[in-house]
Amino acid sequence: MFRFSRIHSALSSKRFASTLVVVEHKNGKIASSTLNAITAAGRAVAKEVASVAGVAKVVAVSDAAFDHGAAEAFAPLVAATVAAGQFSHVVAAASAFGKNFVPRTAALLDVSPISDVIEVKSEDTFVRPIYAGACLALFYHCQYPPPPHGKRDRHCKSSDKVKLLTVRSSAFAPAATTGGSATTEAGPKVEIKNSSEWISEEIVKSDRPELGSAKIVISGGRGLKNGDNFKMLYDLADKVGGAVGASRAAVDAGFVNNDLQIGQTGKIVAPQLYVAVGISGAIQHLAGMKDSKVIVSINKDPEAPIFQVSDFGLVGDLFKIIPELTEKIKK
Amino acid sequence: MKVLVPIKRVVDYGALFVHSLSNADPVLAHNTTHNTTTAVKIRVVNGKVDTGSVKHSMNPFCEIAVEQAIRLKEAKAATSVSAVSIGSSKAHEVLRTALAMGADSALHVDVGEAEALPLHRTLTLSRQKVAKCLKAVVDKEKPDLVILGKQAIDDDANQTGQMLAGLLGWPQATFASKVEVSADKKKITVVREIDGGLETVVVNTPAIITTDLRLNEPRYATLPNIMKAKKKPLEKLTPKDLGVNFVGKLETISVAEPPKRSGGVKVETVDELIAKLKEKGVIA
């Protein structure tokens, strides 16, 4: 069963924008990334709203078709919900779930979706990274031809009646889980063409905090040499209550599972502390972690590019340094 | 079973590297030759991305898609593989690469230079337009399966396959790391990379699949195959031929370089590192 939330917020310009946030959840728990999406939605509906608007309404839809987040089921449902509810924005987290169904929904509504939003400038202007985060692009919805930049006249409202966004979780603070008082209503009934079937999943079980929301991330690369050596990183992570990540090289070499991959095409994290161990620092990896508050690199190559973005670098043999760090660092 | 593979010409993966490819992944470094000391960096000039002086090649995820299609043909699951690229006149280069890898035919939808300029200040070739173009190509070619890369490494959108599936009303299996076609070619089992692990789904053909990195390792185009590819059919069309109306709804206002992180300090010992981290307040 999946749920939608609807966020209302009065605009000072007497317009009324409303945002549909598609909630991702599993085993009865809301995915933390959705809380970040709710924060982004609060900004999308009104730049005048200083504090995040709470959830005004929950549209609950319960059907076995939605059990596993299939885009073939979600896209028509969200499109129908948008049609029924007159939403101006649809927001979902840029998770595997969000990336999968949002563009399909956009095609059904004939609008251009915007991926991986990191900043909401106004209700039709969004910032997102491109080229593995090497550049930031600013997008803006408008009818063709666009007005000269800086001269938006009011007749040139978006030709997209609804803006579909996925938002980067690490760029928005999570919304508070208490304090809201939303009403719940049933969602629209949609007919779902059964053209795909969910068979099974292999979810990696872990007691460690989730990568996306961990305060500390210890990440290993090719320098770890093999999967067994990752145990050192797990020990360090456990000592400080952190999560373990990996570079693509480490995943491709089979050291760890793909769900740990951090980078342009993996997970994007922005913890308080990111420790890169045996990672050279290709830009594709940096794309996934360069917004961390403090970056520490441990690498034997003093020329490794990772040192260029690190607050603290330690040149040396990780096989000596990591056990020593694990021993000396406080819980 | 006919397979269609849409591919994109993008700034070379190596150009995104900070300095060298010595530690880079062989899969993506393949088919390219990089200067290992000074890779060209993407630059932003006057609010636009400057890609003029940068080497271009086939998007890495598209290479994986082409490889997968050819493997299906080799396994007798597919009868033919055609590649399609929508872009400037230079897009034919990547189509020739796909033909050299083993695709049977190619289709180039030429949109002219201005349209194809990535992230130009005017309207650009958005995924929405690409998806509509591809839908027209699918209507024309009638494939049973379309395999795309999960994202292009220039715009990082991760949208086209899903949008095409939505436009066609076909099932989609995104972020595939394993693909198996049933004996009767009616069903395709796909293992998908999802947050937290893997998921297995079955889609009925016709279907859309988008590739993840771990689906396969693309082959090199050998010299004899590159020569042979020159004789393979490469059809050229315009969006007008396909009856696609390009009305843009997204404008890129500007492109800027992200805030730079200033390089920090090198510490000499673990004790010093711990002291610095305490100072910063990120550890107790």
Among the residue ranges A303-307, B142-146, B185-189, the one predicted with the least confidence is: A303-307
User: For every residue of A134-148, which 3-state class applies, written as one string?
Assistant: CEEEEEEECCCCCCC
More confidently predicted of B204 and A43: B204
* Cβ contacts from A onto B, under 8 A: 293
* Distance in Å, alpha carbon of A312 to nearest chain B alpha carbon: 5
By Cβ distance, the residue of A107, A202, A265 closest to B163 is A107
* Distance in Å, alpha carbon of A246 to nearest chain B alpha carbon: 14
By Cβ distance, the residue of A99, A200, A312 closest to B267 is A312
User: For every residue of chain B, which 3-state class applies, written as one string?
Assistant: CEEEEEECEEECHHHHCCCCCCCCCHHHHCCCCCCCCCCCCCEEECCEEECCCCCEEECHHHHHHHHHHHHHHHCCCCCEEEEEEEECHHHHHHHHHHHHHCCCEEEEEECHHHHHCCCCCCCCCCHHHHHHHHHHHHHHHCCCEEEEECCCCCCCCCCHHHHHHHHHCCCEEEEEEEEEECCCCCEEEEEEEECCEEEEEEEECCEEEEECHHHCCCCCCCHHHHHHHCCCCEEEECCCCCCCCCCCCEEEEEEECCCCCCCCEEECCHHHHHHHHHHHCCCC
Cα four-point dihedral sign B62, B67, B70, B76: negative
The distance between the two most distant Cα atoms of chain A, rounded to a whole number of Å, is 65
Mean pLDDT of A140-166: 55
DSSP, residue by residue, A286-319: HTTTTT-SEEEEEES-TT-GGGGG-SEEEES-HH
Domain spans, chain B? 2-280
Q: What is the pLDDT of residues A69-81, one digit of tens each?
A: 899 999 998 999 8
Q: What is the pLDDT of residues B54-77, one digit of tens each?
A: 788 999 999 999 999 999 999 999
| Chain B residues in contact with A71 (beta carbon < 8 A) | 162, 165, 172, 174
- Is the distance from CB of B100 to CB of B83 less than 8 angstroms? no
Nearest CA in chain B to A308: B263
* Distance in Å, alpha carbon of A49 to nearest chain B alpha carbon: 24
More confidently predicted of B169 and B32: B169
Among the residue ranges A28-37, B51-60, B191-200, B209-218, the one predicted with the least confidence is: A28-37
CA dist A49 and A7 (Å) reads 12
**pLDDT over 50 at A3, yes or no:** no
By Cβ distance, the residue of B174, B256, B266 closest to A315 is B266
Report CA-CA distances (Å) from B152 to A130, A139, B257: 10, 18, 19
Nearest CA in chain A to B187: A196
Angle between the N-to-C axes of helices A318-328 and B270-280, in degrees from 0 to 180, rounded to the nearest 10: 50
User: Do the chains contact at A100 and B170, CB–CB below 8 Å?
Assistant: no
**What is the CA angle A29-A32-A35, rounded to 5?**
110
Q: What is chain B's mean pLDDT, rounded? A: 85
- Is the distance from CB of B192 to CB of B201 less than 8 angstroms? yes
What is residue A192's predicted lDDT score, i.e. its pLDDT? 83
Confidence of residue B52 (pLDDT cuts 50, 70, 90): low
Strand-by-strand arrangement of the B197-204 sheet: A196-203, B197-204, B187-194, B172-181, B207-211, B145-149, B2-7, B80-87, B105-110, B234-237
What is residue A68's predicted lDDT score, i.e. its pLDDT? 83
Same fold for the domain at A19-186 and the one at A216-328? yes
Nearest CA in chain A to B205: A195
* Distance in Å, alpha carbon of B141 to nearest chain A alpha carbon: 21
What is residue B239's predicted lDDT score, i.e. its pLDDT? 87
**Homologous superfamily of the A216-328 domain (CATH):** TPP-binding domain (3.40.50.1220)
CA dist A294 and A271 (Å) reads 8
More confidently predicted of B157 and A84: B157
Identity of the amino acid at B110: D
Among the residue ranges A141-145, B48-52, B111-115, the one predicted with the least confidence is: A141-145
Mean pLDDT of B219-234: 95
By Cβ distance, the residue of A137, A193, A294 closest to B252 is A137
**pLDDT over 80 at B248, yes or no:** no
A206 annotated among ligand-binding-site residues: no
Q: What is the pLDDT of residues A244-276, one digit of tens each?
A: 999 999 999 999 998 999 999 899 999 999 999
CB within 8 Å of B52: residues ≥ 6 apart? none
**pLDDT over 90 at B115, yes or no:** no
User: Do the chains contact at A195 and B264, CB–CB below 8 Å?
Assistant: no
* Distance in Å, alpha carbon of B195 to nearest chain A alpha carbon: 6
| Chain A residues in contact with B189 (beta carbon < 8 A) | 199
CA dist A62 and A2 (Å) reads 7
| Chain A residues in contact with B150 (beta carbon < 8 A) | 265
A248 annotated among ligand-binding-site residues: yes
Q: What is the pLDDT of residues A53-63, one digit of tens each?
A: 466 667 777 77
* Distance in Å, alpha carbon of B88 to nearest chain A alpha carbon: 19
A299 annotated among ligand-binding-site residues: yes
- Is the distance from CB of A247 to CB of A230 less than 8 angstroms? no
By Cβ distance, the residue of A102, A143, A314 closest to B273 is A314
Domain spans, chain A? 19-186, 216-328
What is residue B247's predicted lDDT score, i.e. its pLDDT? 59
User: Do the chains contact at B199 and A216, CB–CB below 8 Å?
Assistant: no
What is residue B9's predicted lDDT score, i.e. its pLDDT? 93
* Distance in Å, alpha carbon of B146 to nearest chain A alpha carbon: 15
What is residue B20's predicted lDDT score, i.e. its pLDDT? 33
| Chain B residues in contact with A325 (beta carbon < 8 A) | 270, 273-274
Two tokens, residue A181 = 């008082």
Two tokens, residue A5 = 């939330």
User: Do the chains contact at A140 and B49, CB–CB below 8 Å?
Assistant: no
More confidently predicted of A163 and B207: B207
Beta strands A119-122; A2-10: pairing state: unpaired
What is residue B154's predicted lDDT score, i.e. its pLDDT? 87
CATH topology of domain A19-186: Rossmann fold (3.40.50)
**Range with top average pLDDT, A43-52, B50-59, B185-194:** B185-194
User: Do the chains contact at B199 and A198, CB–CB below 8 Å?
Assistant: yes
Beta strands B197-204; A273-277: pairing state: unpaired
Q: What is the pLDDT of residues A204-259, one digit of tens each?
A: 888 899 898 899 999 999 999 999 999 999 999 999 999 999 999 999 999 999 89
Among the residue ranges A132-146, A273-287, B20-34, the one predicted with the least confidence is: B20-34
Confidence of residue B149 (pLDDT cuts 50, 70, 90): very high
A115 annotated among ligand-binding-site residues: no
User: Do the chains contact at A264 and B11, CB–CB below 8 Å?
Assistant: no
User: Do the chains contact at B194 and A286, CB–CB below 8 Å?
Assistant: no
Q: What is the pLDDT of residues B203-218, one digit of tens each?
A: 999 999 999 999 999 9
A283 annotated among ligand-binding-site residues: yes
Confidence of residue A180 (pLDDT cuts 50, 70, 90): low
Instruction: Tell me: cis bond preceding B206? Omega within 30 of 0 counts.
Output: yes
User: Do the chains contact at A105 and B166, CB–CB below 8 Å?
Assistant: yes
- Is the distance from CB of B62 to CB of B149 less than 8 angstroms? yes
What is residue B28's predicted lDDT score, i.e. its pLDDT? 36
Mutation site for A-interface testing, chosen from B48, B156, B186 by largest number of A Cβ within 10 Å:
B156
Q: Is domain B2-280 in CATH 3.30.429.10, yes or no?
A: no
Q: What is the pLDDT of residues A80-96, one digit of tens each?
A: 988 887 788 898 999 99
